[in-house]
Amino acid sequence: MGKALIIGAGGVAGVAIHKCCQYSEVFEEIMIASRTKAKCDAFAEKLAGTTKTKIRTAKVDANNVDELIALIEEFKPDVVLNLALPYQDLTIMDACLATRTHYVDTANYEPEDTAKFEYSWQWAYRERFEQAGICAVLGSGFDPGVTGVFSAYALKHQFDEINYIDILDCNGGDHGYPFATNFNPEINIREVTANGSYWEDGHWVETAPMEIKREYDFKGVGPKDMYLLHHEELESLGLNIPGIKRIRFFMTFGQSYLTHLRCLQNVGMTSIEPIAFEGKQIVPLQFLKAVLPDPASLGPRTVGKTNIGCIFQGKKDGKDKTYYLYNICDHQECYREVGSQAISYTTGVPAMIGAALVITGKWCKPGVYNVEEFDPDPFMELLNKFGLPWHEDFNPVLVD
Ligand code: NDP
């Protein structure tokens, strides 16, 4: 049916590539293009003979718009699936505009020299995408991504009005290292060392990093400490869910992770300010990334489950209602299926689904959209089909 250009060949891309190859009716051909071509070739070799999807590979520097345009013009994909880093979002969107090609990503733009992420930079492309007649789907991972689709689904099928959303992201996995991150360490550490915040009554309430802590007993995992973080979907859901009064995002962290993070922060290793080292400028956080385990290597050693979902409170037929939608994912099952741990899996599957819905035309309208602005039903159906089944609880324990 269609062709996708996948940019990036890391943990998330690896899963998305496997999943595109399981959905050959839609993904007749894919091209995997990244900075290190050997990684693209390794995926192509691994999947050869297991799928009807034709796979090509290429080297590309996604910071370079001209290189991207040349690659898109040569391959002529229906959609570009951006699974590189948030730093490349705008250059890839520029190349999509120049070639009139649809765009999907999983994380919003973040300038490399400022630890700040927000949608304003990408929302600024709305008019140009509309005029070019192409569609951009922003944030089609799990969170953001499935959390937005869950919100749209809850609003469509369970509520007349949603007033409160708590997004709970629990990783009960254990990789056996004292300290490692489950996705790109640089992006992960920038996110968790930033101030926390939540959306309440139309404005942001800011907190110190890890200031707000709660304990929650997660199905399939057990009780865990979780901490309030700022997260990008709060920004779009605050605008797109009518009647919303408060949205918070909590993520679980173990004590070992937090203790190591505190030490690394205290000695300056998480800083993104360049420093002079042996005659060179280096960024401490980028050096730290180089010595930490590669998230793509955690697959074989991670055991346990993730549980990620949203607790909704609102009104239906004039009565108060609560509703919890969540997915439980087992690290080892993911590894057996696609050779990755569950964090890459829970992001790579929705990334593939977003691209598939654009190719099939179910989610394709000119402009720039967050996932909750589309019909959630086809996405929810494909989650069940491609390994992320969801569960409902009509009487969940609430977070105070
Ligand atoms: P990785 O670091 O494992 O992979 C990133 C890939 O992008 C690497 O293959 C890297 O190349 C490639 N890349 C980096 N810079 C360039 C460039 N200039 N040109 C071409 N390729 C480049 O990251 P993850 O797979 O863990 O994460 C991928 C994305 O998914 C990130 O944006 C992350 O924020 C997002 N994410 C979203 C989540 C969600 O739920 N929404 C959850 C987790 C992640 P090389 O191999 O040479 O290093």
Cα 11 to ligand 1 centroid, rounded to whole Å: 7
Structure tokens at 313: 């409170």
Cα 390 to ligand 1 centroid, rounded to whole Å: 26
Pocket test for ligand 1, best of 5, 6, 35, 147 (most atoms within 8 A of CB): 35
Count each helix (H run) and each strand (E run) in the chain, helices first.
14, 18
Predicted confidence pLDDT, tens digits, the chain (400 residues): 999 999 999 999 999 999 999 999 999 999 999 999 999 999 999 999 999 999 999 999 999 999 999 999 999 999 999 999 999 999 999 999 999 999 999 999 999 887 778 899 999 999 999 999 999 999 999 999 999 999 999 999 999 999 999 999 999 999 999 899 988 888 888 888 889 999 999 999 999 999 999 999 999 999 999 999 999 999 999 999 999 999 999 999 988 898 999 899 999 999 999 999 999 999 999 999 999 998 878 889 999 999 999 999 999 999 999 999 999 999 999 999 999 999 999 999 999 999 999 999 999 999 999 999 999 999 999 999 999 999 999 999 999 9
Cα 238 to ligand 1 centroid, rounded to whole Å: 27
Structure tokens at 10: 């890391």
Distance (Å) of CA 21 to CA 24, 90, 307, 386: 6, 27, 26, 11
Residues with CB under 6 A from ligand 1: 8-13, 34-36, 39, 60-63, 83-86, 88, 106-107, 141-145, 183-184, 187, 295-296, 347
Pocket test for ligand 1, best of 106, 168, 189 (most atoms within 8 A of CB): 106
Cα 193 to ligand 1 centroid, rounded to whole Å: 19
Helix (H) or strand (E) holding 298: none
CA 355 to chain centre: 13
Cα separation, 47 vs 365, in Å, equals: 32
Helix axis angle, 342-359 to 11-21, nearest 10°: 50
Q: What pTM does this model have? A: 0.95
Cα 154 to ligand 1 centroid, rounded to whole Å: 30
Cα 83 to ligand 1 centroid, rounded to whole Å: 5
Could you tell me which of 96, 221, 217, 243 has the C-alpha nearest to residue 161?
243
Pocket test for ligand 1, best of 40, 71, 81, 83 (most atoms within 8 A of CB): 83
Cα separation, 376 vs 143, in Å, equals: 15
Q: Is 386 exposed, middle or buried (0-12, 13-18, 19+ CB in 10 A)?
A: middle
Alpha helices in the chain (DSSP H): 11-21, 37-47, 65-75, 89-99, 120-123, 126-132, 146-157, 185-192, 232-240, 255-266, 284-291, 331-338, 342-359, 377-385
* Cα-trace Rg, the chain: 20
Round to the nearest angstrom and report the end-to-end CA distance of the chain: 48
Could you tell me which of 7, 51, 53 has the C-alpha nearest to residue 27?
53
Q: Is 51 exposed, middle or buried (0-12, 13-18, 19+ CB in 10 A)?
A: middle
Q: Would you put residue 346 in left (φ > 0), alpha (ψ -120 to 50) or beta?
A: alpha
Helix (H) or strand (E) holding 109: none
- Strand-pairing partners, residue 369, are 137
Where exactly are the structural domains of the chain?
2-138, 146-339+389-393
Which residue type is seen at 141? Answer: G
The SS3 of residue 64 is: coil
Which residue type is seen at 169? Answer: D
Per the CB < 8 A criterion, the answer to whether 306 and 181 are in contact is no
- Strand-pairing partners, residue 180, are none
Atom of ligand 1 nearest to the CA of 13: 25
Could you tell me which of 169, 306, 167, 154 has the C-alpha nearest to residue 248?
167
* CB-based contacts of 331, cutoff 8 Å, min separation 6: 173, 299, 302, 303, 304, 305, 306, 341, 342
The CATH code of domain 146-339+389-393 reads: 3.30.360.10
Cα 183 to ligand 1 centroid, rounded to whole Å: 8
Q: Would you put residue 200 in left (φ > 0), alpha (ψ -120 to 50) or beta?
A: beta
Could you tell me the CATH superfamily of domain 2-138?
Answer: NAD(P)-binding Rossmann-like Domain (3.40.50.720)
Count Cβ neighbours within 10 Å for each residue of 265-278 and write b for 16 or more, e otherwise.
Answer: eeeeebbbeeeeee
